[in-house]
Every structure is written in C-alpha cells, then in structure tokens.
Amino acid sequence: MLRIKEILVTGATAAIFLLPSVVSADTAGPTLVYNFTYSSKQNITAKDSANPAEDYPDAHASRTGNSLANTGSGSSNYEAGLNDKGTMTVQVIGTEQDGGLVVNISEDGQQTRRASAATCVVYGNTRVICDPNKTVYTEEYTLLRFLGAKFVDPSQLDANKHWAATGLNSPELAIVADYTINSSSNGQMQIGEKRTIKASGAGHLTTDVETKIGYDFNRSVPMSVDEYATQRTDGGLKGTSTTIYQTTLQLVSDSMAKT
C-alpha cells in the first residue's frame, strides 16, 4: 500500500526498468548530499456498521488510536503519523540517449526511512523512472523530480516566467504540473510548483502538491525544497481518507562545487 501511495504522491509511473544505456560517463558525475525531514499524518473516517443508526455501547468510550465519531453515526475516525529526518545521497552516473539523467539515490533516516542505492532515470519534465525492485521513498521522488536536465528551460517560459510540464500522463494517472519563477538573481531562483495527480478507477484519489524550490540555474541543481502534499480518497459510503505529507530538503554537499 505504501508503494502505491508514493507513486500517487509523486506522480511517478511504474515501468519495466531496463539498465540504462549511459552515453556520457567519461568522468565521475557529482555526488550530492541533502539533509531531509519527512512527516506524514493520516486521518481515516471508516464506516463500522451497515446500520448508520447503530449506537456504541458507551458514547464516551475512548480507544487507543481510535477517536469515535458522533454517536449513532456508524463511523470512526483513525489517525496515524510518521516523522523522520536524515540524509539523501545522489550519485550522478551519466545520461541516456534520450537525455534522461541516470543517478543512484539512497536514503539514511534516523528512524525508519532507510533505503539502499537505487538506479533511477530523471527527465526535465519531472518524469522519474526507478528500478521497481528497489525501495524508493516519497521524499526521494520529491528530490528526483527536480534533477533532470532542462528542468528550467528558458525557451519554455511565458511572459509571466511560467511553464507547464508535459508528457506526464499515463493510463493510471492524470497529472497537471505548473511552475513559476517567482524571483531570480544571478541564476539563483525561487520556483513555485503546483501539481495535481488524479488516479483512475474507484476511490477518487487526488493529490494536491505545493512546493517551493530554491534552484541554482547555473549548476542545474535544486538547493532547497519545501513540499506540502495533501492526498484525499473518497470511498463514498465506505469512508474517506486524508493524508498530509511534508518534506524539506537542503543541499549540504556537492562534490563538484567550487571551493
């Protein structure tokens, strides 16, 4: 279930992963290290009874992890949360013939968010494809989205310094992603992202993402990321679910940076 949620949050699409044909790997690419924080908070309203008028034995009872809804509603509210922080490491391997950037990404959280290196290919339109046999967490996808070549392409900007990502939809997901350069000074940009992901099929699952990106245009590297994502599932009579994800990233080391 976690894997499905991560794909929906990030808008990454599952694919058969083939080892990339790297065409630019004459020299070792940069190694980037980011500090990250991650949190998720889920609230579920679940229907407990086919009879919405069925009462609880004790209207004032409390249960661990279960906050009762109004007496006689036949529903209960459940809440759960997860927090972690640590580091992510990205090793740039090279580029594919189609321009995709090939990287290895790993994560070392202090609590549960730990993942060994996985090979991924990232594109300027924020499309990401990762090895399906490896664990890649939501917050890793958040970083990967902005690593592709020509993530910021001046030729695609309109008069308001805005552009829309294209080529992201799949049979399972409908994705709309818009970006605006809110400020720029000597290649140091502050970029806003608004991203909506809708899953096909039952459940009416929708994810709304708002992200602030500090971006170094001269190096094509995100310096900081602050993402807030709200995911909603409407199961009708079966209940609803809302999950809020918050991720922050800060670049702390770049092996190719000039000292």
Encode the chain (259 residues) as per-residue pLDDT tens digits: 334 455 556 776 544 445 455 444 445 689 999 999 999 998 887 766 544 433 333 333 333 444 444 445 566 777 889 999 999 999 999 999 999 999 999 999 999 999 999 999 999 999 999 999 999 999 999 999 999 999 999 999 999 999 999 999 988 899 999 999 999 999 999 999 999 999 887 667 899 999 999 999 999 999 999 999 999 987 666 678 899 999 999 999 999 876 5
Overall pTM > 0.85: no
Which structural domain range is residue 48 located in? 2-254
Evaluate whether residue 259 is within a structural domain: no
Helix, strand, or coil (residue 138): helix
Q: How many domains does the chain have?
A: 1
Closest CA to 235 of 88, 46, 82: 46
Evaluate whether residue 219 is within a structural domain: yes
Q: What is the 3-state secondary structure (H, E, C) of 143-206?
A: HHCCCCCCCCCHHHCCCCCEEECCCCCCCCEEEEEEEEEEEEECCEEEEEEEEEEEECCCCCCE
Measured CA to CA, the distance from residue 238 to residue 221 in angstroms comes to 44
* Continuous H helices in 11-148: 138-144
